[in-house]
Structure 1
Amino acid sequence: MLGSQSFIAVHKSNGTIRAYTSPITSYTTMLQEEGVVSDDGTLRPHSFSPSNLQSYGTIDFISGKVSKATEDVNSRTMLRNVHGILNTVSWGIMMPIGVTMGRYLKVFDGLGDTWFHLHRAFQSLAFLIAIAGFGSGLYIGNHYGVHHAPHRCIGITLMYLASAQVCVAVFFRPKKAHKYRIFWNIFHYIVDHVTIVLAIWNVLKGFSILNYHNGWKKKYLGIIISLAAIAVILEVITWIWVCNKKTKNSQNHVTISQT
């Protein structure tokens, strides 16, 4: 109540107790949470389990009524889960698969341009889902005041990289025989791989923020390891295919020359 005094006692790192009174001069928000304290006496992050996230509300000390914020918490939790699912599927799974398709399918002559259309369709769908995931993250940050600076900055960087990749691929892709095609290929390759590395890192960062989803983090790591193993196998197959093709072409060239 206004005009009253609150009594505060804190355990210090040396084992002593510091006690003091603090006058209450205005109404404000009171934060109550359960967590651990580090060795230097600073507070560590509290758990993000549902019980912790739903443990707040408004208390009217005059009437004794307590109003819970369950609906708001549930809405925020749902949006956060949607944000995580959209970005994990788009940035963390679909885009690496799309890059793998573009890298390894084009060496097979029988596919023709099919590999390109599959690669473009897969990456376009992933980009659209990523836009929705990015928008949900901005909404959560602006509406609920939830900010995780590194996670947010990497997300913004990813959107810039992906947008640049799309614009360059659609509007500035030279013909295969063009003299500047080599520079376009280098740009496309570098942006692709930088985006994939940052995307995987940011997805893992997101799972760390939601620290009660360690099971999902392990499953995602399993998916990434599986994709990496498949990429290694495809790389070996590709090199064998290319080497055999070069050998066959050389033999055909020698035969034609002799005739």
Structure 2
Amino acid sequence: MSFSHTFFSSLFVLAFVSPLLASAHICTDQFLTEVSQMNITEKFCNTKTLKVEFGWNFNNESRRLDIAFGGRLHGETGWLAWGLNPVGPHMVGTRALIGIKRQDGTLEALKYNITAATKIGCQLLPSKDIGLDVRNFSFVKVNIGYYVIRATIFLPKEYNSSKANVVWQVGEHATESGPLMHPTSIKNFDTAEVIDLVSNKVIGYTAHRRRQLRTAHGILNIVGWGVFLPIGVIAARYFRKFPEEWSWWFVAHVSCQMAGYGLGLIGWGLGLWLGNHSKYYIFQTHRNIAIIIFTFATMQMFSLKLKPKATDEYRKYWNMYHHFLGYSLLAVVSVNIFYGIRIFGENKAWKWSYVGLLGTLGGVALVLEVYTWIKFFLNKVEEKKHGSKDQISAAVIPAPAVQGATITAPAPAVGAAT
């Protein structure tokens, strides 16, 4: 099986399997064992993004909600956050319970009101009143290596138990004054859902649908910008005249460029749509680079109609511009694809698949480049040999007499016999 076939297969598997994995709501047996004393069963326990687990037990009559939220903290510091948002499934407005692991190993459980100021990087400050009746609130480390937030909450009437907006988060750094900003991968923004606490149904998790769209966005851009464009460049550079002449090189070049531009354009538009519909976060650098890529690619597409004729005086300057812009485009595309993969989060299959693909294309180009130079030098050597033979032949073969000309004998040298 070829590498390209394996690569594309893996990408399409990711596109359709990852949403299914994300919707698998079953806690691990180890976590269930730890929270069994809170009468939390497998029916009311599920896994979340960021590799955390959430279990609960809800009494609709008393409106008592017992929760256990746990995950791993691998660094010297870190924090876990779980909360309810009376407004909607997003960060701003969340009434949060946060467990903090400090550098000295101590653990602390604090309550916070998450406001819009937090979004712009302001320091979180604990609050005694978050609008929830919270009891038995603790943050502990359990035998399975998890750090777990435990609490009993009595829901006010304004909180709809059939549509509870649950928000969670994991951070890597904390100070004495509180938690610091969490990582900015896409998974750290897919941390809110709407749950029916009574029937244990996830009734609203837009991240599932958006994850599918993000996967399609990534595949289209990798295949379009990252595969077809480089192949089109290889066809134009190495098969026009040297090292091998191929009469169909221009058709291959234009076809690959148009296919890459078409797929990339769809992926680019999908990315803009995702950015415009993400009300609470945006990846501005990734977006700006994508706009540059689209602009450069569009300029290259205009070359099909605006290319000057071979006899035009400024054709060589146009060629310099076209080549420089094309190579610059490939470099910017690679940078933005890696940037997008980093945003996507922990899935290393994307990164190493693209590294393998990039290495394959680069290896092909390197082999052709070396072959080009070898053949160039061999041709130079042959030209020199043929040139020497032609000079020798011209020296030993006398020039033919011109018809009608008088041939005069050379004068004898001085001292010669007459």
The corresponding residue for 1:159 is 294
Distance across 2 between alignment mates of 1:9 and 1:88 = 38
SS at match of 2:172: coil
**CA contact 1:151–1:206 (8 Å) conserved in 2:** yes
CA apart distance, 1:64: 8.9
Letter in 2 for 1:134: W
**Counterpart of 1:143 in structure 2: which amino acid?**
H
The DSSP-based 3-state class of the residue aligned with 2:168 is coil
- 1:183 counterpart residue number: 317
CA contact 1:57–1:67 (8 Å) conserved in 2: yes
Is 1:56 the counterpart of 2:56? The answer is no
The residue correspondences of 1:196-211 to structure 2 (distance < 5 A) are 196-211=330-345
Matching of residues 174-253 of structure 1 within 5 Å: 174-252=308-386
Q: Does 1:115 align with 2:249?
A: yes
1:8–1:21 contact (8 Å) kept in structure 2: no
CA distance in 1 between partners of 2:351 and 2:361 (Å): 15
Percentage identity across aligned positions?
A: 25
- Post-superposition shift, 1:253? 5.4
Q: CA deviation at 1:154?
A: 0.6
Change (3 A) 1:64 1:215: closer
1:25-66 superposed Cα distances (whole Å, 9 cap, x missing partner): x98x9662231231544132277569x947511569xx9996
- Whether the 8 Å contact between 2:225 and 2:264 is mirrored in structure 1 is yes
Superposed CA RMSD: 3.6
Give 1:42's aligned residue.
180
Instruction: Give 1:23 shift.
Output: 5.5
Check the 8 A contact 2:190/2:207 in 1, yes or no. yes
Aligned equivalents of 1:241, 1:65: Cα separation in 2: 70
Which of the two has greater strand per residue?
2
Per-residue CA deviation, residues 182-235 of structure 1 (Å, 9 max, x unaligned), is: 211111111111110110111111111111321221121011122212211111
Offset of residue 249 of structure 1: 4.4
The answer (yes or no) to whether the contact 1:48–1:210 under 8 Å persists in 2 is yes
Read off the aligned partner of 1:161 and give its amino acid letter. Answer: F
Query: How much has 1:147 moved relative to structure 2?
Result: 1.9
More helix by share: 1
**CA–CA distance in structure 1, aligned partners of residues 275 and 375 of structure 2:** 49
Corresponding residue of 1:127: 261
- How many residues were matched structurally? 250
Q: 2:309 corresponds to which letter in structure 1?
A: K
- Say if 1:208 and 1:214, in contact at 8 Å, map to a contact too: no
Of 210-219 and 169-178, more deviation after overlay is shown by 169-178
Unaligned runs of 5+ in 1: none
Query: Counterpart of 1:93 in 2: which secondary structure?
Result: helix
Cα pair distance change 1:187/1:143, threshold 3 Å: same
Q: Aligned partners of 2:337 and 2:368: how far apart in 1?
A: 25
One-letter amino acid of the counterpart of residue 141, structure 1: G
User: For 2:235 and 2:96, how far apart are their aligned partners in 1?
Assistant: 65
Match of 2:272 among 138, 160, 176: 138
> After alignment, is 204-213 or 171-180 more displaced?
171-180
The two structures have a TM-score, normalised by structure 2, of 0.52
What secondary structure sits across from 1:32 in the alignment? strand
Q: Which residue does the alignment assign to 1:103?
A: 237
Amino acid at match of 1:159: F
Task: Note the alpha carbon deviations across 1:140-188, whole angstroms, 9 max, x for none.
Answer: 1123445211111110000001111111x12321223432122111111
Q: Which amino acid aligns with 2:320?
A: I
Per the normalisation by structure 1, the TM-score is 0.80
C-alpha distance in structure 2 between counterparts of 1:201 and 1:89, whole Å: 15
Q: 2:127 maps to which residue?
A: 20
Considering Cα pairs closer than 8 Å and 6+ residues apart, tell me whether 1 or 2 has the greater RCO.
1
